Amino acid sequence: MKALVTGGAGFLGSRIVRLLLDRGVDVTVCSRHATKHEAQSARHEVQDVDICDAAAVSRAVQGHDAVIHCAAKAGAWGPRREFFDINVGGTRNILAACHEHGIKNLVHTSTPSVVFARGLAGGADESAPIPARHLAHYPRTKALAEREVLAANGINGLRTCALRPHLVLGAGDPHLLPRVIAMARAGRLKQVGDGTNRVDVTHVEDAARAHLDALDHMKAAAGRAYFIHSETVALWPYIGRVLERAGLPQIERCVGIRTAYFAGALLEAAWRVLRLRGEPPMTRFVACNLAWPHWFDISAARRDLSYEARRTAQGALDEFFGLEEHISRRDAEARRETASV
């Protein structure tokens, strides 16, 4: 099999690429600035492709049997145009290229945020509806992309499915854990809500393996979306473990969800009207994610994809901080060697 992985130079995509290579699959990494990531370039083809460039995407997809579409713009804040162009427009380019070149299988990386809304019960399954409105451009555009991917199932012989891994963590995480640590170091991290909300955590290796499970079971998975996780944890005690490992003090300040939500709405308005740079210190989407439960039933993934978690939330922390400590020691040794010279 020959597979193309969009976003294959990224945190999750690079793990998927490695697992495919270990199976002997002929892999093409498709990503912006992918050639800067040379660690595995001898084992696979690397292409610098802007997912928003339809012609470039078509050229990249041609000649493959399957596509795993990981490339996306994530985040709680940013210009609507960027989220729409990458998450929706880029996915449309992938779908068009798959139809044009007769691709048989497409696995799309989605997110549980597409169904995240007030009143969503913990333990919800894939029958949870996508709400009419979202609190940020990221879940809104990912929901649009997921709908179009699943609607394309069966057209021109293409089989599609979507995976919704939640809070993907592990060694080399460039997003979630560094963000929590940076906020804590800046003194801006407060507990939102009563601290009892539970959330799903997905070890990056489990998230990557789920994509291969989907490829292996596309007949059963075709046209469907699946929640994926490694473990469900209490969010704020888990954040407490992150701070402890980072050598930071525990959170002492807390704020109610209504206060945080109202503050987020005001800050969003100020950032828009004044056209301020960067991200507001609080948004409605972040406030709700920090206070509400968001954990999901993965029975369907177990049944249809034979998916089983092999890693843990604690393992994700151990591996993240293990790599960080290794990098710190390596950099310290390099500085000592430079100083001695």
Residue where the block lists tokens 């490694």: 230
Rounded CA gap, 88 and 52, in Å? 9
Rounded CA gap, 224 and 75, in Å? 25
User: Please, are residues 303 and 309 in contact by the beta-carbon 8 Å criterion?
Assistant: no
Residue where the block lists tokens 């940076």: 182
User: Please, are residues 16 and 212 in contact by the beta-carbon 8 Å criterion?
Assistant: yes
Residue where the block lists tokens 């380019």: 93
Residue 325: CB atoms within 10 A of its CB come to 11
Active site residue 261: no
Rounded CA gap, 202 and 298, in Å? 12
Residue 200: strand pairing partners = 232
User: Please, are residues 109 and 72 in contact by the beta-carbon 8 Å criterion?
Assistant: yes
Give me 161's structure tokens. 């499915």
Contacts of 157 (CB under 8 A, 6+ apart): 102, 104
Contacts of 62 (CB under 8 A, 6+ apart): 97, 100, 101
Residue 117: CB atoms within 10 A of its CB come to 18
Indicate which residue of 138, 238, 261, 307 is catalytic: 138
User: Please, are residues 42 and 29 in contact by the beta-carbon 8 Å criterion?
Assistant: no
User: Please, are residues 170 and 205 in contact by the beta-carbon 8 Å criterion?
Assistant: yes
Residue 208 sits at φ, ψ, to 5 deg, of: -65, -45
Tell me which residues are annotated as active site: 138
